[in-house]
Amino acid sequence: MEPAHLIDSLKLKDHVAVVTGGSRGIGRAAVNCFARLGASVVVNYARDDGAAKDAIGEAEATGVGALAVQADVSLLADAERLIEATIRQFGRVDFLVCNAGIWEGSPVDQMTEQVWDRTIDLNLKGTWTVCRAAVPYMKQQQFGRIVIVSSTAGQRGEADVSNYAASKGGQISLTKSLASELGPFGINVNSVAPGWVDTDMCADAFARQGFRKALENSIPVGRVATPDDIGWPIVFLCTEWARHINGEILNVNGGSVLCG
Ligand code: NAP
Contacts of 164-170 with CB under 8 Å at 24 or more apart are 164/102, 164/103, 164/104, 164/105, 164/119, 164/123, 166/120, 166/124, 167/101, 167/119, 167/120, 167/123, 167/124, 168/123, 168/193, 170/120, 170/123, 170/124
Query: Quick check: is 45 catalytic?
Result: no
Kindly give the distance from the C-alpha atom of residue 100 to the centroid of ligand 1, in angstroms, as a whole number: 4
Q: How many other β-carbons are positioned within 10 Å of the β-carbon of residue 126?
A: 29
Quote the pTM value.
0.98
Q: Which residues pair with 194 in a beta bridge?
A: 252
The matching CATH number, chosen from 3.40.190.170, 3.40.50.720, 3.40.50.300, 3.30.450.20, for 3-197+228-252 is 3.40.50.720
At residue 183's C-alpha, the angle toward residues 178 and 185, to 5°, is 110
Kindly give the distance from the C-alpha atom of residue 108 to the centroid of ligand 1, in angstroms, as a whole number: 22
- Domain residue extents for the chain: 3-197+228-252
Q: Which of 34, 90, 137, 164 is catalytic?
A: 164
Residue 201 Cβ < 6 Å to ligand 1: yes
**Which pLDDT score is estimated for 260?**
57
**Which pLDDT score is estimated for 72?**
99
Residue 254 Cβ < 6 Å to ligand 1: no
Kindly give the distance from the C-alpha atom of residue 45 to the centroid of ligand 1, in angstroms, as a whole number: 9
Give the span between the Cα atoms of 256 and 196, in whole angstroms: 9
Give the span between the Cα atoms of 84 and 147, in whole angstroms: 19
Residue 100 Cβ < 6 Å to ligand 1: yes
The series of mean pLDDT values per 10 residues for the chain, 260 residues long, is: 74 96 98 98 98 98 98 99 98 98 98 98 99 98 98 96 98 98 98 97 94 94 97 97 97 86
Measured by CA distance, the residue closest to atom 24 of ligand 1 is: 25
Residue 69 Cβ < 6 Å to ligand 1: no
Give the span between the Cα atoms of 40 and 202, in whole angstroms: 29
**Which pLDDT score is estimated for 12?**
95
**Which pLDDT score is estimated for 6?**
73
Residue 188 Cβ < 6 Å to ligand 1: no
**Which pLDDT score is estimated for 158?**
95
For residue 46, the SS3 value is coil
Pick the atom of ligand 1 nearest to 168's CA: 34
**Which pLDDT score is estimated for 11?**
87
